[in-house]
Amino acid sequence: MNKTPSIRRYTPDDAEAWNAFVAASGNGTFLHDRGFMEYHADRFTDHSLVVEAEGVIVALLPANRDGCVLKSHGGLTYGGLITGPSMSAALMVDIIAALREALIAEGFERLIYKAIPHIFHRYPAEQDVYALIQQGAQLSQVDLSSAVSLGHAPKMSKSKRQGATRARKAGLEPRESDDFAGFWEMLTARLSDAHDAAPTHTLDEITLLRARFPDRIRLYVADGAAGAEGGVVVFDCGGAVHVQYMATTDAGRQNGALDLIVAHLLAEVYADRVWLNFGISTTDAGRILNTGLARQKEMFGARSVLFTQYNWDLRQTS
């Protein structure tokens, strides 16, 4: 039988097989599930790819088309090839070679590739980065995230521990909540006042995603007599848990609400996981580091993790 990988376009008929492969993969997360990817389908021209060998799916590439550029993925924090736990380096080299030929045949000139950060891997799965660079791709962007290695992390700083204690003394208690509407009001106000910005997801979008992934998208709040004074939305990716949003009221900021919630997540809710990721602290395509933001995350015990992006000019040979 022919073991040469073949590449074809994803179709809606593939949805069930796609989602099953992601769930059993070595490096995919629920962000790659079609139910998550397609919540903003109107903003992107989907051009996801299915890689098969001997008639069996061996890899998936979530991607969108932007003119003559294929992006993996323009609407996700990370895209990249999703592979099974048995993926070999040799097969990946063949897949990347076949991918180049397939993309050129479809009129693409360039691939922008956001690799899946290693903290989201269930098995080591960086053979895609090796194969891309081997065949001519260039590192084009590096963002700096911060993650806590659960069970091996430095202690939270004294000031963060004191913040959690202060929150308790103010009568706050950490708990899970389903009041996303209330938290979105708090979050929107905080982002608008502090950064003249808005949440990445609208309330309608996060409500839809929460309904689709109730076990994966969770809200934790610091609750007091007057209601929630702070909240944290997490995306539960299995071994790694990602902090998507954090916000407080003015009172919650003074009372250490976020310190209390994060301490609760680290010590109790997700103590049995591998990573708690706080997200990137960089802007301007990774060139500017918000040192204050990075330091706040480090005070929780987080340390640096790279989110990398690659640019592959398909017209050039390696």
Residue 2 has pLDDT above 70, yes or no: no
| pLDDT of 198 | 94
Global pTM value: 0.95
Domain identity same for 32 and 124: yes
Q: Within a domain: residue 287?
A: no
Residue 1 has pLDDT above 50, yes or no: no
Residue 279 has pLDDT above 90, yes or no: yes
List, for residues 169-204, the tens digit of each pLDDT value.
Answer: 999 999 999 999 999 999 999 999 888 899 999 999
Contact indicator for 237, 120 with CB cutoff of 8 Å: yes
Domain identity same for 93 and 186: no
SS3 of the chain: helix, strand, coil, percent, to 5: 35, 30, 30
Domain identity same for 41 and 91: yes
Q: Within a domain: residue 283?
A: no
Cα 299 to Cα 90, 151, 157, 252: the distances in Å are 41, 16, 5, 18
| pLDDT of 282 | 98
Cα 92 to Cα 129, 230, 315, 317: the distances in Å are 10, 45, 20, 17
Domain identity same for 116 and 190: no
| pLDDT of 318 | 58
Q: Within a domain: residue 290?
A: no
| pLDDT of 271 | 97
List, for residues 81-133, the tens digit of each pLDDT value.
Answer: 999 999 999 999 999 999 999 999 999 999 999 999 999 999 999 999 999 99
List, for residues 198-213, the tens digit of each pLDDT value.
Answer: 999 999 999 999 999 9
| pLDDT of 90 | 98
Domain identity same for 247 and 189: yes
How many other β-carbons are positioned within 10 Å of the β-carbon of residue 162?
A: 13
H/E run at residue 284 = none
How many other β-carbons are positioned within 10 Å of the β-carbon of residue 13?
A: 8
List, for residues 218-233, the tens digit of each pLDDT value.
Answer: 999 999 999 999 999 9
Domain identity same for 101 and 178: no
Nearest-angstrom CA–CA distance, 150 and 140: 30
Q: Within a domain: residue 295?
A: no
Q: Say how many domains are in the chain.
A: 2
Domain harbouring 200, CATH code:
3.40.630.30
Domain identity same for 255 and 159: yes
List, for residues 28-86, the tens digit of each pLDDT value.
Answer: 999 999 999 999 888 899 999 999 999 999 999 999 999 999 999 999 999 999 999 99
| pLDDT of 194 | 84
Its domain, for residue 211, covers 151-273
Domain identity same for 117 and 135: yes
Q: Within a domain: residue 281?
A: no
Domain identity same for 162 and 136: no
Contact indicator for 301, 153 with CB cutoff of 8 Å: yes
Domain identity same for 158 and 269: yes
Nearest-angstrom CA–CA distance, 191 and 168: 25
